């Protein structure tokens, strides 16, 4: 105990109390150890000595505490001056319940720290440890699910079809996976751009790393910056007090899929260009620059050349993204794949709904083959699911699609008009108006909403209902 008595100025009640306190702790606790300002051991009682497997206290004095107790946090307590009141410390095969307290001199400065082993038998804290163990299990499961969610669900085999157009897409995708360059996926809505992006990632050297997707058109403009680049704690009103990681940081080491990149505001385009050039991001409200290693796969369903001409897309960003472009053909240009696509979709519908797997008669397949499919594969899946839910036939026939595809019914009967439920007529009218507005606006949804006289949020809601994404 001589270390305390030799400290200059350590007198009075504190001088007398500290040794008495340690003696009391020595009697009540399973073990006690003390360190100086350099986290060197200056005292250890007999109980702690035995727990550590030593017999001679002199063999410990003056040695760094981490040399004897590798997981010790005593140095942290000395440096911060803050106690760690209750903690679990692993030592070899044992786990101890410990408290760590800073020791101060008369002037208030930290002169060392004391570590107290409260229990070496954890049964004293069974309720607390049970809850701790449960939280640890829940955290591990959450992390597992998060990692699983950020891994690609699709491979190149998921891009169904053996038509010349489909085989060419797969060939280009394999080459893109090998090269590791920025990829730009072009094509109408519903052609499978995200599926192909995941397939490219799954076939690349980054397959074991995260795949993060973000739809630039589905996020309010005010939140795009924080969504992409993250935000410091309290960066703006309503921001998370702990801050948040942006998609670039979440995708570090992996792939970031930027869907509908053509709808991105010009201000964000400029910041995105800098990230692509410098491979670093600066979170909103922060001066800290974070290095990132991210591969970009971008996608759009609008005409980017037209967007350039209209000033809605930065030319330098276009050239940065358009390193290796792949155009996904619409379903009407790969109609030879229709049967295989239907078989795959019907199998997935059966697995998801638990209903019996359906088949298509040649007549049903012919009926579907005569449709122009403006919504492409996404619309095909939607039509097949509706037919499954509305029909009891094990084999779906042509008539099962008449009410789902009214334009086909009109063409088949030669009628000038088709009488249909009001809800379907309204939906068809809204679809036509939205498609016309999008065409007039060059695919820019904000402008299309203005032309229709509705808000951008309402437009997105209607497009989702009508399967126009």
Domain ranges in the chain with CATH number 1.10.10 = 420-469
- The residue written with tokens 């050297």 in the block is 205
Task: Give 16's pLDDT tier (boundaries 50, 70, 90).
Answer: low
| Beta carbons of 32 and 116 less than 8 angstroms apart | yes
For the CA atoms of 15, 19, 22, 26, what is the dihedral angle to 10 degrees?
Answer: -170
Stretch (H or E) spanning 326: strand 324-327
Q: Pick the most confident of 49-63, 178-192, 408-422.
A: 178-192
Domain ranges in the chain with CATH number 3.30.450.20 = 2-126
pLDDT in tens, 181-202: 999 999 999 999 999 999 999 9
pTM of the complete model beyond 0.85: no
Residue 119: predicted pLDDT? 62
For the CA atoms of 370, 374, 380, 381, what is the dihedral angle to 10 degrees?
Answer: -170
Longest dimension (CA), the chain: 108
Domain ranges in the chain with CATH number 1.10.8.60 = 334-419
Least confident range from 125-129, 169-173, 257-261: namely 125-129
pLDDT in tens, 246-279: 899 999 999 999 999 988 888 889 889 989 898 9
Task: Give 178's pLDDT tier (boundaries 50, 70, 90).
Answer: very high
Question: How buried is 121 (Cβ within 10 angstroms: 0-12 exposed, 13-18 middle, 19+ buried)?
Answer: exposed
E-strand stretches of 234-315? 255-259, 280-281, 290-291, 295-300
Residue 3: predicted pLDDT? 45
Q: Is the pLDDT of residue 150 over 60?
A: no
Q: Is the pLDDT of residue 144 over 70?
A: no
Q: Pick the most confident of 127-136, 309-318, 420-429, 434-443.
A: 309-318
Domain ranges in the chain with CATH number 3.40.50.300 = 156-329
Angle, alpha carbons 436-443-150 (nearest 5°) = 130
Q: Is the pLDDT of residue 360 over 90?
A: yes
Q: Which fold has domain 156-329?
A: Rossmann fold (3.40.50)
Tell me the CATH class for 334-419.
Answer: mainly alpha
Q: Which residues contact 179 (CB under 8 A, 6 or more apart)?
A: 324
Architecture of the domain defined by 2-126? 2-Layer Sandwich (3.30)
Domain range 420-469, its CATH number among 2.60.40, 3.30.1490, 1.10.10, 3.30.70: 1.10.10
Least confident range from 51-65, 127-141, 203-217: namely 127-141
Task: Give 322's pLDDT tier (boundaries 50, 70, 90).
Answer: very high
Task: Give 358's pLDDT tier (boundaries 50, 70, 90).
Answer: very high
Distance CA 58, CA 56 (A): 5
Query: Cα-flanking dihedrals φ and ψ of residue 140, to 5°?
Result: -65, -40
* Mean pLDDT, the chain, whole residue set: 82
E-strand stretches of 105-216? 110-119, 183-186, 211-215
Distance CA 316, CA 84 (A): 53
């Amino acid at each position: 105990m001589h270390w305390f008595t030799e400290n200059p100025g350590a007198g009075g009640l504190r001088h007398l109390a500290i040794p008495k306190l340690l003696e009391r702790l020595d009697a009540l606790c399973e073990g006690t150890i003390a360190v100086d300002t350099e986290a060197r051991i200056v005292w250890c009682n007999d109980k702690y000595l035995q727990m550590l497997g030593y017999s001679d206290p002199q063999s410990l004095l003056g040695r760094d505490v981490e040399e004897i107790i590798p997981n010790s946090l005593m140095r942290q307590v000395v440096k911060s001056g803050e106690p760690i009141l209750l903690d679990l410390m692993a030592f070899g095969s044992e786990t101890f319940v410990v408290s760590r307290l800073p020791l101060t001199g008369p002037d208030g400065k930290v002169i060392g720290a004391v570590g107290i082993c409260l229990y070496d038998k954890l049964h004293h804290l069974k309720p607390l440890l049970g809850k701790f163990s449960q939280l640890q299990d829940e955290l591990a499961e959450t992390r597992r699910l998060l990692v699983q969610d950020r891994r690609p669900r699709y491979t190149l085999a998921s891009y169904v079809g053996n038509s010349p157009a489909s085989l060419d897409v797969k060939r280009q995708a394999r080459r893109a996976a090998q090269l590791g360059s920025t990829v730009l996926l072009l094509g109408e809505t519903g052609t499978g751009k995200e599926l192909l992006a995941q397939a490219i990632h799954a076939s690349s050297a980054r397959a074991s790393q995260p795949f993060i997707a973000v739809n630039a058109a589905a996020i309010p403009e005010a939140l795009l910056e924080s969504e992409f680049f993250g935000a410091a704690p309290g960066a703006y009103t309503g921001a998370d007090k702990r801050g948040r990681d942006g998609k670039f940081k979440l995708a570090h080491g992996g792939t970031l899929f930027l869907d509908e990149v053509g709808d991105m505001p010009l201000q964000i385009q400029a910041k995105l260009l800098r990230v692509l050039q410098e491979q670093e991001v600066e979170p909103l409200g922060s001066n800290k620059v974070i290095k990132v290693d991210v591969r970009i796969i971008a996608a759009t369903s609008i005409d980017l050349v037209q967007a350039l001409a209209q000033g809605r897309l930065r030319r330098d960003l276009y050239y940065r993204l358009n390193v290796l472009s792949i155009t996904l053909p619409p379903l009407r240009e790969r109609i030879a794949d229709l049967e295989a696509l239907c078989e795959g979709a019907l199998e997935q519908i059966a697995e998801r709904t638990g209903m019996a797997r359906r088949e298509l008669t040649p007549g049903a397949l012919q009926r579907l083959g005569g449709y122009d499919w403006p919504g492409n594969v996404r619309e095909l899946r939607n039509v097949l699911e509706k037919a499954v839910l509305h029909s009891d036939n094990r084999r779906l026939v042509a008539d099962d699609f008449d009410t789902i595809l009214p334009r086909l019914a009109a063409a088949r009967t030669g009628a000038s008009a088709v009488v249909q439920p009001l809800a379907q007529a309204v939906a068809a009218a809204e679809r036509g108006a939205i498609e016309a507005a999008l065409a007039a606006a060059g695919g820019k949804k904000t402008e299309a909403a203005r032309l229709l006289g509705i808000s951008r949020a309402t437009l997105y809601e209607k497009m989702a209902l009508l399967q126009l994404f």
